[in-house]
């Protein structure tokens, strides 16, 4: 199978013209087939504020009422996604911006109300990777916005990390997939105060050892558990790194 | 060649949930391959107003400064386009929302400043129909937003009628294309006060006769001249009709 790199970047880096330009340049240098998944939360919060809509977050997730859904549809599906697509086209990358509704590539269901009513937020139920894989094989580079749909006419807000993980797992049937999560550090650190203490390679055994020793802790644990889940579902490698290192061998590489 | 119907609808009909639902149902009943092109001007004007941005129109065209470009990118490329796509998916139409930047299907150039500086408005220079035709052949129904790009990183605002005409001409190399323009009347009328006085069939000869007699006048003349231009470029037929009649044989059919 051919190699495919799926890169997930957060909102901040794609929301400022200078950092976006650098990111797209770095992304274009990745060899082989590729997919980009983006956030856009800061722009959504900013637009909502201008429109007098309060942004409510619970556990880091946006409560998405009807008006907020319109805001994220405009910002994620329109502004951020299309600026990335146009920026990639300018440097010769044949980008195609998609929400889950487009070609029904990712279907979700509205999250059931338990302790929290998240509103129009979707949990992924089905990924149709065939048509994506076909386009990728023709040189198209999908740019995935953090929006899905329920195939009943409703768009749903879906976390970009989730979109990345689900797309990577589904594409693993067609490609040898490396899933790359970008965050603000160079990788998983053994010492949070030392940015150079990057763990280059992580296995399930090493992960358990580091957790037992308290070297890996806090929010990094669920992030890595999700990574192992993707690996168990067929993704070849997960890399956790900083956005400016995506075209290098830097960061923490996680393999089974 | 197989038949393809390309339907252009204005903003108003796609911007209200009830009329949108009816339109999508009617559109889904069109047999054979199809493409939908939409506007969204009313929503853009409404969002701009909420954000304190004044909408300036000259000759019916929006002056698109940097802030207005963001508004139309959000509204045309995000809100309106994705609501249509999700609505079509719900009734079994495999829609894919596109701006000209997506897969570089439509490249334009910023309109040169003459008497009026339209700002970030694009005049179409190149349509890449091959990849669109390939997707259409696989059952995908493109939903085209009135946005293009210059392949230098800039999105550009482009009139939906123009998008429809240019896409129809380019797709005429792959399909037997009928280009359908929807407006508020049932067709081209011989008596503007009689909604039933629809000219069923129009040819260049009849058009000249009606213009000479003053039966066809005003804004309908450039609309029909554009239609003949599309026909001369290979489009099989142009139909001018009301949106609720797109799945019928109604309206004015124009052929060479």
Model pLDDT for residues B55-73, shown as the tens digit of each residue? 999 988 899 999 999 999 9
pLDDT at A59 > cutoff 90: no
Residues 6+ positions from B203 with CB-CB distance below 8 Å: B254, B255, B256
Give residue-wise pLDDT tens across range B118-163: 999 999 999 999 999 999 999 999 999 999 999 999 999 999 999 9
Fold classified for B3-182: Carbamate kinase (3.40.1160)
User: What is residue A6's predicted lDDT score, i.e. its pLDDT?
Assistant: 98
| Tokens coding B50 | 């909420």
User: Each residue of B181-201: pLDDT tens digit?
Assistant: 998 899 999 998 999 999 999
pLDDT at residue number B10: 84
Q: Which pLDDT score is estimated for A241? A: 95
How confident is the model over B83-101, as a mean pLDDT?
98
Distance CA B19, CA B12 (A): 9
Per residue in B33-42, pLDDT (tens digit) is 999 999 999 9
Smallest Cα distance from A38 to chain B, Å: 15
Which pLDDT does position A16 carry in this prediction?
Answer: 87
Find the mean pLDDT for residues A76-95: 98
Instruction: Please give the Cα distance from A7 to A254 (Å, whole number).
Output: 15
**So what's the pLDDT on residue B220?**
87
On the question of pLDDT at A51 being above 90, the answer is yes
Kindly list the distances between the CA atom of residue B196 and the CA atoms of A76, B193, B239, in Å, as whole numbers in the listed order.
Answer: 45, 9, 16
Closest residue, chain A, to B68 (C-alpha): A79
| Residues A74, B70: C-beta atoms closer than 8 Å | no
Please state the rounded mean pLDDT for residues A207-224: 91
Does the distance separating the beta carbons of A96 and B103 come in below 8 Å? yes
Per-residue pLDDT for A11 more than 80?
no
Q: Which residues of B touch A149 (CB under 8 A)?
A: 85-86, 89
Query: Reduced to 3 states, what is the DSSP secondary structure of residue A72?
Result: helix
Cα distance from B197 to chain A (closest Cα, Å)?
38
The pLDDT of residue A119? 96
Question: What ipTM describes this predicted complex?
Answer: 0.95
- What's the pLDDT score for residue B61? 86
Please determine, for residue B80, whether its predicted confidence score (pLDDT) is greater than 90.
Answer: yes
Sketch the domain layout of chain A as residue ranges.
3-182
How far is the C-alpha of A208 from the C-alpha of A211, rounded, in Å? 5
Decide if A95 touches B, using CB distance below 8 A.
yes
Work out the minimum CA distance from A108 to partner chain B, whole angstroms. 12
B52: left (phi over 0), alpha (psi -120 to 50) or beta: left
Verify whether the Cβ–Cβ distance A73 to B82 is below 8 Å. yes
| B252 conformational bin, left if phi > 0, alpha if psi -120 to 50, beta if neither | beta
Q: What average pLDDT is seen over chain A? A: 95
Interface check A157 vs B, CB under 8 A: no
Chain B within 8 Å of A89 (Cβ-Cβ)?
Answer: yes
């Amino acid at each position: 199978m051919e190699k495919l790199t799926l890169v997930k970047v957060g909102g901040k880096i794609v929301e400022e013209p200078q950092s976006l330009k650098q990111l797209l340049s770095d992304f274009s240098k990745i060899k082989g087939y590729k997919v980009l998944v983006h956030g856009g939360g800061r722009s959504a919060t900013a637009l909502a504020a201008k429109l007098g809509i309060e942004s409510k977050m619970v556990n880091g997730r946006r409560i998405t009422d009807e008006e907020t859904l319109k805001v994220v549809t405009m910002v994620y599906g329109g502004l951020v996604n299309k600026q990335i697509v146009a920026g990639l086209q300018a440097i010769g990358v044949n980008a195609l911006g998609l929400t889950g509704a487009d070609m029904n590539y990712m279907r979700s269901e509205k999250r059931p109300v338990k302790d929290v009513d998240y509103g129009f937020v979707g949990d992924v139920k089905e990924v149709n990777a065939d048509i994506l894989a076909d386009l990728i094989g023709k040189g198209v580079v999908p740019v995935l916005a953090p929006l899905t749909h329920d195939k009943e006419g409703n768009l749903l807000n879906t976390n970009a990390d989730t979109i990345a993980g689900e797309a990577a797992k589904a594409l693993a049937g067609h490609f040898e997939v490396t899933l790359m999560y970008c965050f603000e550090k160079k990788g998983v650190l053994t010492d949070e105060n030392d940015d150079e203490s990057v763990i280059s390679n992580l296995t399930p055994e090493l992960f358990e050892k580091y957790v037992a020793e308290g070297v890996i802790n806090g929010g990094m644990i669920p992030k890595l558990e999700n990574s192992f889940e993707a690996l168990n579902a067929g993704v070849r490698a997960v890399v956790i790194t900083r956005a400016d290192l995506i075209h290098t061998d830097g960061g923490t590489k996680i393999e089974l």
